[in-house]
Amino acid sequence: MVETLPKILVVDDVAANRVAMRSLLAKMDAEILIAASGNEALSLALDHDLAVVLLDIQMPDMDGFEVAEWLRGEERSREVPILFVTAAFKDEFHRLQGYQSGAMDYIEKPVDGRILRSKVSLLLELYNRRQALKQSNQALVERTVLLQTTLENIRHGLGVFDERSRLRIWNDRFFEYPDYPLTLAKPGTALTELLAIHQQRGELSSHAIQQRLTNQAQPQRFDWPLRNGRILDVKSNPMPDGGVVVSFTDVTEQRRDEASVRENASRLAAVNATAHDGIITINHRGQVQEWNPAAEQMFGYTAQEMRGAPLTKIMPERFHQPHAEGITHYLASGQSEWVGKTRERVGLRRNGEEFPVELSLAAWGAADQPCFTAILRDVTERKCQEELLTQLNQRLGDSLVKLQRHHRELLQISRMNDCLQSCLTMEEAIQVMEESLANLFDGMVGMLLLTPVDGGLPEISGCWGMQEEPSFPPAICTVGDQWQHQAARREGCCGFATDEKTPLCYCLPLWGQGQSLGFLHLRELDPAQRDALARTEGLTTTVREAVELSLANLRMREKLRDQAVRDVLTGLFNRRYLDETLPREISRSTRLQQPLAVAMLDVDHFKRFNDTFGHEAGDRVLREVATLLKSRLRKSDLACRYGGEELTVVMPSLDIHAARERMESIRQGIKEISIEHNGVALGQVTISIGVAALPQHGSSGEELLQKADKALYTAKQAGRDRVIVHPE
């Protein structure tokens, strides 16, 4: 099959821009499609599977926002990533409009080629991985169809049961021969349900048949007569990982023919000379009466040599006594476990060689002096074929188990990818990965260690299967002291156990966007099962790629989301985030009947820093104040830049007194910081703070902010550098 390149659609109404974009993307391993208008872009999107769309916003007739919304509305282009490439519409409002219309990023003109190629390369890599996953799924479906076709074309009825004796795979003949209800032809049907049908029909003549059918330790084979007149040759072979393969062969006609031969042996003496099977007749004393040419060829004795000789002459010595006892028992009771049956026995050739024979025995004549006619078939070749068939069945069983496991793993990875795509936060993604990886790496425990966004050593973010408190690195892991070196080796490391009681471990580095994301650490749960790591061969690479892709996407989304709600100068949340979050925190505190405090902070004489030392010095003061503020607040507290030098702090679950103490600590801490700019000390920094609380100062965010602002004004009027609580 000819491999096609991924397609990049460039949409721009300016010819020079289109030429420039084609030049920048010329070395990308992709096909470049060009559109000069929104309508032309929509036409190309209907005719091609696109990997990336680079879309100009300002165009005649249909602007970029409209084109993006249309692409998101069509099934074929819904998942195609869109990058806006524009010299206009770069303000916050239009950026948000772009994200709402379906764009995932902005690239400003004039275009930086390195940034453009880096982002497009990442999106092309994501597209290629999605295509590869689709091809893998299609290949699995084709192999499953091939397997089912093979099962349906063999003449045996075949059913595969798992270790819990529940049906997993079957063909039509498996239900046709014993005449099972087709309602039971479904995965999970218990073998006991099928045996119950035979019990009701009276076809389970003894408990031994049920035991032989469910035997998962040794191969079994026996004839099974059914009420519908069929005789099934039943074979069962245990599978290495548990379970059993049961095959039915309809041998009704074969067994009837054999019985007919036994019943009419006296009338078929004429055909003895032409029979391919050895036909031997003995009297009640065990002496040979008839010996056909096939028996001569089989055993090496002529008819003259054998006529009148004891049958024990062609038996190994260990069977002589049982043979004599069997004849005696039949003469006394008229019953024998051999008469009318087909059994396997061992014959003895003239040269002393033992070989397997299939023996069918019939009794006829007077009851007190019966004769026995035996039909013997040399089954040496058949035994070899059966052994070969057993090996093939075992290989088939092994292949089925591997295919099923691989299919389950692909389904689990696909489900994990779907769940990860819908995760909005890293915490949700880690929970999904914990559950999915625990199922994928059965028999192993593991940890997910992620490198913080701001750098540093990997930290434990998730774990599964562990009884003890997780810690990293474990004693047997060599990656702990050299994690930076191991992170650069994409193949990871494997710790080799020094003895059978020490479990093996495996550390797999995670990379994304050219930087280390952390590690996936796996360890054997039971050191006695040394194949736990071996079974993960090939699976770890697929899982790692899925995890890396999801982590990189989440970090990118979190970074974009963080940029949208953070103040660029101070790193605090911005006014928009405060307007969205404060009503929600007030609603939660009201519902839980918990207090909530709001503080307004203002840097005293802030204009002095700008006028005396310059605006860069003023910015330095705001950053230092914000840094101390973040270090003194809890994770649940919300610090925002309200505007200019004014800051706002929301403190859930703190009453007015605790909030005042917290603000006093912050005020005192700010007085103690020393700030320099360009080697010049800026002098002491002080702040004034106004505090208001829920519910005594209001029930809405607007009321609390107003009361806190009035308290701040009072603090400034009273001389600044103080904390004032609004009076109730």
**Is residue 143 domain-resident?**
no
pLDDT band with cut points at 50, 70 and 90 for residue 710: very high
The answer to whether residue 1 sits within a structural domain is no
**Domain final position from 554, 579, 594:** 554
State whether 127 and 174 are in the same domain: no
Whether 372 and 479 share a structural domain: no
Residue 609's pLDDT is 83
The string of DSSP letters for 23-58 reads: HHTTTSSSEEEEESSHHHHHHHHHHS-EEEEEE-S-
Report pLDDT for 546. 76
**pLDDT (0 to 100) of residue 90:** 67
The residue ranges of DSSP E strands in 114-256, in sequence order, are 157-161, 167-170, 220-225, 231-238, 244-250
pLDDT in tens, 86-130: 776 667 777 777 777 777 777 887 878 788 888 888 888 888 888
Whole-number Å distance between alpha carbons of 696 and 597: 10
Q: Say whether both 418 and 533 belong to one domain.
A: yes
Is the CB of residue 93 less than 8 Å from the CB of residue 57? no
At 422 the pLDDT is 75
**CATH value at residue 682:** 3.30.70.270
Q: What pLDDT, on a 0 to 100 scale, did the predictor assign at position 267?
A: 67
Mean pLDDT value across residues 433-444: 77
Is residue 62, in this structure, part of any structural domain at all? yes
| Domain at 501, CATH number | 3.30.450.40
When divided into structural domains, the chain yields a total of: 5
Same domain membership, residue 517 and residue 590 = no
Domain annotation covers residue 410: yes
Q: Does residue 148 belong to any structural domain of this protein?
A: no
648 and 534 fall within a common domain: no
| 521 vs 652, residue with greater confidence | 652
pLDDT digits (tens, 9 = 90+) for 669-704: 988 888 888 878 888 889 999 999 988 888 888 888
How far from 185 is each of 23, 154, 179, CA to CA, in Å?
Answer: 61, 18, 11
Q: Indicate if the pLDDT at residue 598 is higher than 90.
A: yes
Question: Looking at the domain assignment, is residue 459 inside a domain?
Answer: yes
Q: Are residues 413 and 550 in the same domain?
A: yes
Reported as a single tens digit per residue, the pLDDT across 55-73 is 888 787 788 788 888 888 8
Provide the CATH number for the domain around residue 336.
Answer: 3.30.450.20
Q: Which residue has the higher pLDDT, 282 or 508?
A: 282
Number of H helices, E strands in the chain: 21, 27
Average predicted confidence (pLDDT) for the chain: 81
Per-residue model confidence (pLDDT) at position 265? 56
Residue 544 is predicted with a pLDDT of 76
> 215-264: per-residue pLDDT in tens?
777 888 888 888 888 888 888 888 888 888 888 888 888 888 877 877 76
**597 and 509, same structural domain?**
no
Contact between residue 65 and residue 38 where contact means Cβ atoms under 8 Å apart: no
The model carries a pTM of: 0.36
Distances (CA, A) of 524 to 123, 240, 444, 474, 538: 36, 21, 5, 12, 17
* Same domain (yes/no): 191, 284: no
Q: Which domain holds residue 523?
A: 397-554
User: For residue 246, which phi and psi values (nearest 5 degrees)?
Assistant: -110, 130
CATH at residue 30: 3.40.50.2300
Task: Tell me what percent of the residues of the chain surpass a pLDDT of 70.
Answer: 88
Work out whether the CA dihedral 689, 695, 698, 703 comes out positive or negative: positive
How many other CB atoms are found less than 10 A from the CB of residue 703?
A: 15
Q: How many C-beta atoms lie closer than 10 Å to residue 163's C-beta?
A: 12
Shared-domain flag, residues 340 and 473: no
DSSP string, 670-714: HHH---EETTEE-----EEEEEEEETTT-SSHHHHHHHHHHHHHH
In a domain, 435, yes or no: yes
What is the per-residue pLDDT across 310-344, written as a single tens digit (0 to 9) for each? 988 889 999 899 888 888 888 888 888 888 888 88
The whole-angstrom separation of Cα 522 and Cα 462 is: 12
What whole-number distance in Å separates Cα of residue 370 and Cα of residue 37? 103
Residues 411 and 533 in one domain: yes
Exposed/middle/buried for 414, CB within 10 Å: 0-12, 13-18, 19+?
middle
Q: Are 464 and 494 in contact (CB under 8 A)?
A: no
**Residues 436, 543: one domain?**
yes
Same domain for 588 and 550? no
At 490 the pLDDT is: 52
Q: What tens digit of pLDDT does each residue of 203-217 get?
A: 776 567 777 777 777
Is 1 a residue whose pLDDT tops 50?
A: no
Q: What average pLDDT score do residues 619-640 get?
A: 88
Q: Is the pLDDT of residue 484 over 60?
A: no
In a domain, 665, yes or no: yes
Note the pLDDT of residue 668.
Answer: 92
